[in-house]
Amino acid sequence: MIKKKIVSIFLAFAMVFGILNPVQAKEEVGNNKGLVGPKITRVAGKDRYLTATKLSSYYFKKSDYVVVASGEGFPDALVGGTLAAQLNAPILLTGSKNLSLAVKAEIKRLSPKKIYLLGGEGTVSTGVYNELKTIAETKRIKGKGRFETAKEIAKERAALYGNGEKIEVTAAINGYSFADALPAAPFVSQLKDKKGRNVYLIPYKNGDRPEYIFGGYSSVPKIEGFKPYKRFSGKDRYKTALNIGTYYDRFYGNTSKTLVLVSGSDFPDALSSAPVAKLFNSPVMLTSSNRLDKDVFNYIKNRFETGKLDHIIIIGGKSSVSLEIENQLSKMNLPVEDPEFIPVVVNRVIDGDTFEARVEGKLERIRLLLVDTPESVHPDEKRNVEYGKIASKYTKSLIEGKKVNLELDIQERDKYGRILAYVYLENGDMLNELLLQKGHAKVMAIPPNIKYVTEFRKLEKQAKDQNIGVWKDYDAVFK
Active site residue ranges? 367, 375, 418
**What is the DSSP pairing of strand 354-359 with strand 419-424?**
unpaired
Backbone phi, psi, residue 351, to 5°: -150, -165
CA 475 to each of CA 106, 112, 374, 469: distance values in angstroms, whole numbers, following the listed order? 41, 49, 11, 12
Q: CA 337, CA 334: separation in Å to the nearest integer?
A: 10
Kind and range of the H or E run holding 458: helix 453-466
Residues 6+ apart with CB under 8 A from 376: 351, 352, 384, 385, 388, 389, 391, 392
Residues paired with residue 259 on neighbouring β-strands, in sequence order:
312
Q: Residue 139: CA atoms inside 13 Å, Cβ hemisphere, count? A: 11
- Cβ contact 8:289 at 8 Å: no
What is the residue type of 309? L
Strands 342-351 and 403-407: antiparallel
Residue type present at position 448:
P
Contacts of 320 (CB under 8 A, 6+ apart): 44, 262, 263, 265, 266, 268, 269, 270, 289
First to last CA, the chain: 35
